[in-house]
């Protein structure tokens, strides 16, 4: 558990160090948001490595069966000013997010920590609601009862809406690599967030 938090902290520190020049021009809290939400794995069929080594594979259920419906959690997102976007246009913006999801059921404990780099484009607004769409690159750390602490890469699509300048709702679907006997963590994540 301590090593997992150390990995997440290392990723955040490296990202902050790489982006320090662009962040120095703005207030540190400008662009920060807190959010709460749920991750819902889309697949329950997978194999996981047997605990205790041995390298065997079992027919144990995948992540969806272990956490039943979903794992609640929350996290932080930070809008990066001055970072070039992959696509041209003034509507594109880049952010980095780190979230923690936890589920404890009879089937066991599961922790999922996704850290993502996100790029979204503001779409034409109708009324007060300002929709946006984009994509993300994610490193998801998965651990829990009978699961080795492993980090897998993935990516996904993002759809969201800014209800006000401060309040937003976001949904995304991510495909996460599940090779090597790691339960499939691909699925939906939704958040309700507040920007400072």
The answer to whether 152 and 137 have CB atoms below 8 angstroms apart is no
Give the whole-angstrom CA distance, residue 59 versus residue 63: 12
What residue spans of the chain are helical by DSSP H? Answer: 2-18, 20-23, 63-66
In the prediction, which pLDDT does 78 show?
A: 95
The pLDDT tens digits for 172-194 are 999 988 777 777 788 999 999 99
The pLDDT tens digits for 5-49 are 555 555 555 555 555 555 444 567 888 999 999 999 886 554 444
The answer to whether 148 and 60 have CB atoms below 8 angstroms apart is no
Q: List, in order of start, the domains of the chain with CATH numbers.
A: 2-195 (2.40.160.20)
Q: Is 6 helix (H, G, I), strand (E, B) or coil?
A: helix
The dihedral built from the CA positions of residue 101, 107, 109 and 110, taken in this order, carries a sign that is negative
The pLDDT tens digits for 126-182 are 778 899 999 999 999 988 887 778 889 999 999 999 999 899 999 999 998 877 777
In the prediction, which pLDDT does 150 show?
A: 85
In the prediction, which pLDDT does 21 show?
A: 56
The pLDDT tens digits for 61-88 are 467 777 878 899 999 999 988 776 667 6
In sequence order, what are the residues at sequence separation of 6 or more whose Cβ sits closer than 8 angstroms to the Cβ of residue 133? 120, 121, 123, 157, 158, 159, 160
């Amino acid at each position: 558990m301590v090593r997992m938090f150390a990995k997440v902290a290392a990723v955040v520190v490296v990202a902050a160090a790489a982006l320090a020049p662009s962040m120095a021009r703005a207030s540190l809290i400008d662009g920060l948001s807190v959010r709460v939400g749920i991750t819902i794995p889309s697949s329950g069929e997978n194999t996981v490595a047997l605990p205790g080594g041995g390298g065997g594979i079992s027919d144990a259920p995948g992540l969806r069966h272990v956490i039943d419906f979903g794992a609640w959690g929350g996290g932080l997102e930070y809008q990066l000013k001055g970072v070039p976007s992959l696509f041209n246009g003034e509507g594109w913006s880049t952010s980095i997010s780190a979230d923690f999801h936890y589920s404890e059921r009879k089937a066991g404990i599961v922790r999922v920590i996704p850290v993502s780099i996100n790029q979204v484009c503001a779409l034409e607004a109708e009324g007060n609601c300002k929709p946006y769409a984009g994509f993300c690159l994610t490193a998801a750390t998965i651990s829990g009862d009978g699961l080795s602490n492993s980090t897998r890469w993935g990516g996904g699509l993002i759809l969201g809406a800014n209800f006000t300048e401060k309040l937003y709702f976001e949904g995304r679907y991510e495909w996460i690599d599940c090779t090597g006997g790691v339960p499939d963590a691909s699925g939906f994540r939704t958040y309700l967030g507040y920007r400072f």
